[in-house]
Amino acid sequence: HTHNIGYNTCVFAYGQTGAGKSFTMMGPDSDEGPVSSDPTMWGIIPRAVQQIFDYIEAAPQEVTFSLAVSYLEVYREVIRDLLDPSKVNLAVRESPTKGIYVDGATTGFVTCAEDVFQAIAVGDASRAVASTNMNAHSSRSHSLFIMKVTQKNELDGSLKQSQLNLVDLAGSEKIGKTGATGDTLEEAKKINQSLSALANVINALADGKPHIPFRDSKLTRILQQSLGGNCKTALMVACSPHSNNEAETLSSLRFGQRAKTIKTVVKMNEQKSAEELTAL
């Protein structure tokens, strides 16, 4: 919703491998790159990007925008920068001004939708991919695409800031099903660890517990604001209709059912101008 510039938002896709998470977030796999040349086939990320730029085009002359993107991967509890693969094992930090952020993550400034799609293509090329029985092209990592939008009114100096977190989680299937052994098995356990941590956080939030275990995984720490803070959050649950996947489908739906009971409190991130403050 483009009139929501100034709010933090998060959309994340959850479900077993092959159920349609990446299709939902990005669109179909194609030879031409991660973003299809046919906009009717786009997933949530390209649509969100296009909508933001449409909004910018329509904004009055005195309103200026600055847009920055980061693309990260959380793989076996290690955060990697997909825009600069030489940056591995990045740390999650917290500061009074920036909130929770990934220290050292590359920030690419963008001026049009094409710039963003280019950044996504660069990031996708460096993702860790291992074949499992579930899905030959399955990525065993969580990917997090972050877009920061700053809107400034040049006439009165007022500012609005938004952070958009778009997350494609790793597959939530049972380890026994993946046919994984050795290294890939360790990987499945670590991936399951972060998904278990996510489930624990969702359960603790849903039950209104005083302590929420955000620090149990890198994934939940990065998403702390999105899950329990100042953020409009949408969860997409991808399910398989096949009877062979009945247990996973039920568990995905239960996860979604728990998540639906959580209420986040969202407020606009704005710095008012002197005139607005005087008027108030």
- Overall residue count recorded for the chain in this entry: 280
Closest CA to 194 of 96, 93, 52, 77: 77
- pLDDT value of residue 264: 85
Q: What is the pLDDT of residue 126?
A: 77
Neighbours of 67 (CB within 10 A): 21
Residue 131: what pLDDT? 46
Angle at 141 between CA 136 and CA 145, to 5 degrees: 115
The two tokens of residue 131 are 């074949």
7 within 8 A of 266, measured Cβ to Cβ: yes
Return the amino acid letter for 241. P
Q: Which residue has the tokens 């990320």?
A: 45
pLDDT for the residue 177: 65
Are 239 and 15 contacting, i.e. CB atoms less than 8 angstroms apart? yes
Q: Which amino acid is at 179?
A: G
Cα distance from N-terminal residue to C-terminal residue, the chain: 26
pLDDT less than 70: residues of the chain: 1-4, 128-139, 175-180, 187-188, 190-191
In what helix (H) or strand (E) does residue 81 lie, and over which residues does it extend?
strand 78-81
Count of beta carbons in the 10 Å neighbourhood of residue 224: 19
pLDDT tens for 197-216 read 999 999 999 999 999 999 99
What is the reported pLDDT for 180? 67
Does this model's pTM top 0.85? My answer is yes
Given this model, what pLDDT does residue 134 score?
45
